[in-house]
Amino acid sequence: MTDPEARAAKLSRELDSAFRNRADLYRLFLDELTGELGAEKAEAIMIRAIEQRGKEVAAAAFANFGPNDARAIGEAFLAVSPDGGLMYPTDVERDDDRIAFTVKRCPLKDAWVQAGVGDEKLATLCRIAGALDRGLFEATGVRFDNVTWTPDHGSGCCHIALTNRASDKKGDDAGRVSQG
């Protein structure tokens, strides 16, 4: 395949398939862990592991950012969004000390819906997947707020907001991403 547009379209489909495969693995791990440990423990274990992966990614991707770089972190995140942002299209609100994303489509959620996952389990899987974002953004020290999908949430997916710590009335002195 030498046509660049055809190759790009093929790679886009393959990338979407890889994300859907990730979704299927989350779903199957949750089922197996729930069967062995119960729903609460299964979710907690998955959240810890996925949040840790987010921290690992942050250490490499956001090592030069700190707790008052919320907008820059958000812009860097958007700049590397898979498939030029097509995989996770977002509406973005920007302020000097804050950036917020409303994710309109998620290939993970799409895969779970296609697999026939009910609303309660879908909300659980969205919480689990949201742990990656929490690990990723909290590791930078910015204030991270996230609302993942629930049945009363409507269409779309999660809402993420990053705010500089200096803007936080709590005055939390969270540090830079660990480079360890």
- CATH number of residue 19's parent domain: 3.30.1380.20
How many structural domains does the chain have?
Answer: 1
Residues 91-130: tens digit of each pLDDT: 999 999 999 999 999 999 999 999 999 999 999 999 999 9
Cβ neighbour number for residue 82 with a 10 Å cutoff? 14
The alpha carbon torsion through 38, 40, 46, 50 (nearest 10 deg) reads: 180
Look at residue 6 in the predicted model and tell me its pLDDT. 93
- Please give the angle made by the CA atoms of 161, 45 and 137, to the nearest 5 degrees: 20
In a domain, 86, yes or no: yes
Instruction: Please state the length of the chain.
Output: 180
Query: Would 178 be classed as within a structural domain?
Result: no
Region class of 15: left (phi > 0), else alpha (psi between -120 and 50), else beta: alpha
Report the 10 Å Cβ neighbour count for 153: 15
| pTM, rounded to two decimals | 0.88
| 48 found inside a domain | yes
Tens-digit pLDDT profile for residues 58-79: 999 999 999 999 999 999 999 9
- What whole-number distance in Å separates Cα of residue 176 and Cα of residue 167? 16
Task: Please report whether residue 85 resides in a domain.
Answer: yes
Whether 176 maps to a domain, the answer reads no
Task: Write the DSSP string, 161-172.
Answer: EEE-GGG-TT--
Partner residues linked to 170 by β-bridges: none
Mean pLDDT computed over every residue of the chain: 91
Q: Is residue 102 part of a domain?
A: yes
The helix/strand/coil state of 117 is coil
Higher pLDDT, 157 or 168: 157
Work out the average pLDDT over 76-84: 90
Domain-embedded: residue 71 = yes
Let me know if residue 175 belongs to a domain.
no
Residues 10-40: pLDDT tens digits?
A: 998 999 999 999 999 999 999 999 999 999 9
Identify the domain containing residue 111 by its residue range: 4-167
